Structure 1
Amino acid sequence: MTAPGGTEKVAAPRVTAVVGLLVVFELVSGLLQGSGPALVPAVQDWQSISASQAQWYMAVQFLAAAVGVPVFGRLGDLYGHRRLVRIALVCIAAGTVLVALAPNLTVLLVGRALMGPLAALLPLEIGLVRDRLDLEGARRAVALLVGALTFGSVLGHGLAGPLLELTGGVQATLCVLAAIACACVALSYCAIPESRTRAPGRMDWAGALLLGLALLLFLGTMARGQAWGWTSPRTLGGLVLSLSLLAWWVRLERDRPHALVDVRAVAHPRSATYYVSGFLFGAVMLGGQAVGISYLAASTADEGYGFGLTSWEISAWGAVPHVLAFAGASLVARVAARTGYRRVLLLAFTLMAAGNVGLITGHATLPLFALASAVSGFGMGLALGGLPTLIAERSTPDRTASATAVYNNLKTLGGSLAGAGSAVVLGSLVVRDTDVPALSAYLTIWALNALLCVGALALQVLTNRETDAPGAAKNRRSDTRPHSDAGTSAGA
């Protein structure tokens, strides 16, 4: 179903302008997200809060994103992606202002929660460019958006420290970031056309509430699992209850004509492979970031392994995989034009598996360790650009944003589970009579990451065997939709 005015694509100059503005939003999104972890110690000192309280500074935004991304995605499909991009930017700007001016921890956490829609921007933008561009143009646009997000994260991570020193304090730094976010709100009213396709039906608020409750309970329990103990009644009870709520939600959504998420389409063989791969990808990418930083900081004199790098050295060496991820995400459309997107994902997970094996074999030599990280980072960039593109193309035009929102949430859930699993491994495999993780703990985590990549690789090989020849790409737009047994819109 389309809005009046048809579905013709805008002229090329208009497309360039629109994608350019969306790239700016993703660059700022990456900047805000990348600077967050780097500023945590300074925020902790500014607010005089404990380490456990500082943990919620990051966690509350992830929780808000988990709940809000599916809602923003579905509302964008129903009422227009540009409209919801603007609303998301307003929420983000308000959140950054509250964070910068927060007089206490409560206001600080409210501000961080309002920044949750940062994760909703990319699904909404993918929905918009898919509606306004042809297939090849949309693929290039998604690659640019993902590349901008990745590059923004690199900038946020690398510039947070210098900006902190330049401004003379964390509050001034946060005010600069707030000003940038507010500028994006004004920019969103310049030369961005609204998407023309509209999903039928209305918002499934009951489904959104139930999903939000289940995700909040699950992610909240995972965040506190280490403090409570992974085998404690509170942890196990929270996980069982959250999974029960998710199972109930799936059963309800399956029978709704205009559900928040079309679970039948998600489970369809042509789409399910990519959703599962997204979950595994999130586990490897998000779950392994802190592990690598901890290893770089460890020293052979104290722990018996690692490289003993200082903070600025960690930032410099740690930027290597991020830069390669930006390169991979930026090049994915060009590579796929020659090989097809399915082969791009095969290459992506192969590189990620090889990179994690390289971390194991090169853990004693910094250049080899950095090389392995770079190989894995380039594979992550290819996956970052390839997975949402394929998921969007296998959704109907009126479900694009909500489909990519589901992928985003599954990636986050995978990272949450992997982060908790890494904490268990690091806490269990320790140097005798200490709580210091042993070298075997890091090697085990990298081996598990490699196995997850092999699992995702096997999924690509065993399923979705249809040809993705570059020459046929232009003719596949109408053939990239999963079929829905219920006859409703498929894809999310």
Structure 2
Amino acid sequence: MTTAPDAGAAPSTRVRAVVGVLVAFELFSGFVQGTDAPLLPAVKDEWGVSAAGAQWFITVHLLAAAVSVPVLGRLGDLCGHRRLLRIGLGCVTAGTLLVFLAPTYTVALVGRALMGAIGSLLALEIGLVRGRLDASGARRAIGLLVAALTLGSLLGHALSGALLGIFGGVRVVFAALAALGLVCTALAWWCVPESGPRGAGRMDWAGAVLLGLALVVLLGAMSRADAWGAASPRLAGALLLAAVLGWAWLRVQLARPDALVDVRAMARRALAPHYAAGFVLGAVLLAGQSVAVMFLAAEPAEGGYGFGLAVWQIGLWSLIPSVLGLVASALAPAIGARIGYRRMLVSAFALMAIGHAGLILAHADLALFVVAYSVAGFGIGLSQGGLPTVIAEGSAHDRTASATAAFSTLKTLGGGMAGAGASVILGALVVGVSDTPSLTAYLTLWGLGVAACTVAAALQTRGGRETPAAVADRPGRGTKSASGK
């Protein structure tokens, strides 16, 4: 195992400056990911595919990210985080170029698969800064990276329509993204230092293949759950196959000393509650937002609920919780240093639970609805800024990127499974004999959100203490844990 950097050592000025370059990478990453959903109508028109076919533009990207993130994270720990950061950015750039040049929709989907590597950037960057900075410096850097990712996603979502208007088509938008990717790749090549000592061991390719197959089968089945139906034999068979593959992968991980994912470390009391909370965060962040948008757009005359907002109005109202989430992500290191990361994460998920309860109570009043949504958004921002930090600090230094990548994968799984579950509930609880979801469906989903966030908040009280270096790095706290104990 590699040794940790001295917590009292002053990081070099160059390394501090490099954090700014990494922040630029996360702005790019967030921007690319933020444009996905708004560009779907243009994708449908450009390649002449159906609405269901256009959805694969996102699904393929999601599947590729779920498979590539743990692999690239572990390779970063073994071969160098900078090297894999360059490879990841190169794959994203090649993918955007392929979408721009794609003669057919199938080729465009291949490009989208290459772009899945973008999900690994944050894990590799966290591994890099943890290997180069002391504990407090790494915390501030992680907070900035998460805030930049959030800001980039917000800008991508808000500006995607304007980009289509300016560039005149979805292909040219991807050409512009490819140009940004080339700039980022060049910066990674010339301006980013390597992260320091590398981990020992070999790459677990058998574990990578088994995990990739299990994730593809599971997320693929979840994406088709609404079309197949909850009682479909195909869905049941796919879920059973995913479970068998997952069990085989777990056996391989427990038997190998150089496993792709350190399952035993993830199961420790110090980390397991945070990984479980990552799954809940993914469900609320990736699936919950789409449910809220659907409710804001729903016409009261059709289902007796909703606000009938236009797309631009939804974007305007959604800006408030998004900005609050961005602010919370940026403030997370300071808040964690003040009250302890454990207390901060308990508060974050408590705010998310309160926000979801507020959505239930305020579903008939737009202003109160947005207030409740904003409370949840602030909690989401705190959890996004805090969870990667506590997981990185609780992991071995030669496992930082792979541990953070496992968290990202769980977050993706949470979003995918919650999205599929939400589709089933919205399709089952309808108004009369129509296909319009009933108010009960939305209230049920928000009630489940309250329950999940409450459980996640309770779990955070069971999380482990900080590393000694991190505790020592907090002025005026002595030996008191940042968890609040």
Length-normalised TM-score, structure 1: 0.93
Shift of 1:303: 2.5
Aligned to 1:253: 253
1:490 — aligned with what?
A: none
Percent sequence identity is 54
Change (3 A) 1:399 1:465: closer
Q: Give the Cα separation in 1 of the matches to 2:82 and 2:117.
A: 14
- After TM superposition, the structure 1 = structure 2 runs for residues 173-212 of structure 1, keeping only pairs within 5 Å, are 173-212=173-212
Match of 1:329 in 2: 329
Displacement of 1:472 after TM fit? 3.0
1:459-474 to structure 2, matched below 5 A, reads 459-461=459-461, 463-464=462-463, 466=465, 472-474=471-473
Q: Which residue of 1 aligns with 2:384?
A: 384
**Cα separation, partners in 2 of 1:50 and 1:136, compared to 1, 3 Å:** same
Distance change (3 Å), C-alpha of 1:471 and 1:80: closer
* Deviation of the 1:9 alpha carbon: 5.8
Query: Given the alignment of the two structures, is residue 134 of structure 1 paired with residue 134 of structure 2, yes or no?
Result: yes
| Aligned-residue offset at 1:205 | 0.6
Mapping for residues 294-309 of structure 1, pairs under 5 Å: 294-309=294-309
Amino acid of the structure 2 residue aligned with 1:76:
G
1:106-185 equivalent positions in 2, closer than 5 A: 106-185=106-185
Report how far residue 442 of structure 1 moved: 0.7
The residue aligned with 1:485 is none
Kept in 2: contact 1:271–1:391 (CA 8 A): yes
**Which is worse superposed, 24-33 or 160-169?**
160-169
Q: Distance in 1 between matches of 2:7 and 2:365?
A: 56
1:488 is matched with none
**CA distance, structure 2, for counterparts of residue 473 and residue 30 of structure 1:** 33
Task: Identify if the C-alpha distance between structure 1 residues 281 and 204 changes in structure 2 by more than 3 Å, giving closer, same or farther.
Answer: same
Is the counterpart of residue 221 in structure 1 residue 230 in structure 2? no
Q: What CA deviation, in whole Å up to 9, does each residue of 1:402-444 have, x standing for no partner?
A: 0000001111111111111111110111101111001111111
Native 8 Å contact 2:33 2:153 kept in 1: yes
Per-residue deviation, 1:400 = 0.1
Match of 1:206, SS?
helix
In structure 2, relative to structure 1, the CA distance for the partners of 1:87 and 1:9 (3 Å cut) is: farther
Amino acid at match of 2:23: V
Length-normalised TM-score, structure 2: 0.95
How far apart are 1:16 and its partner, in Å? 2.3
Distance (whole Å) between structure 1 residues aligned to residue 106 and residue 338 of structure 2: 52
Q: What stretches of structure 1 of length at least 5 have no aligned partner? A: 481-492
State whether residues 275 and 410 of structure 2, in contact with CA within 8 Å, keep that contact through their aligned partners in structure 1. yes
Relative to structure 1, the CA distance from residue 395 to residue 21 in structure 2 (aligned partners, 3 Å threshold; closer, same or farther) is same
In the alignment, is the contact (CA less than 8 A) between 2:95 and 2:114 conserved in 1? yes
Matched residues, number: 477
Shift of 1:355: 0.6
Letter in 1 for 2:446: W
- State the 1:468 CA deviation: 9.0
122 and 471 in structure 1: CA distance in 2 versus 1, 3 angstrom threshold: closer
1:415 partnered with 2:429: no
Displaced runs of 4 or more, over 6 A: 5-8, 467-471
Superposition deviation, residue 146 in structure 1: 0.2
The residue type paired with residue 281 of structure 1 is L
Alpha carbon RMSD of aligned pairs, Å?
A: 2.2
SS at match of 2:303: coil
Shift in Å, 1:165: 1.0
1:96 maps to 2:96: yes
Contact 2:222 2:420 in 1 (8 A): yes
Output the amino acid matched with 1:474: D
Matched with 1:373 is 373
1:304 to 1:473, Cα distance in 2 relative to 1, 3 A: farther
Q: 1:285 is aligned with what amino acid?
A: L
SS of residue paired to 1:117: helix
Deviation at 1:197, TM superposition (A): 2.2
Hey, what's the Cα distance between the residues in 2 that align with 1:439 and 1:290? 16
In structure 2, the residue matched to 1:455 is 455
CA distance in 2, matches of 1:22, 1:419: 31
Rounded Cα–Cα distance in structure 1 between residues aligned with 2:15 and 2:382: 24
> In structure 2, what is the Cα distance between the partners aligned to 1:174 and 1:66?
22
Q: Deviations over 1:189-227 (max 9, x none)?
A: 232110112111110111101111111111111111111
How far apart are 1:473 and its partner, in Å?
4.3
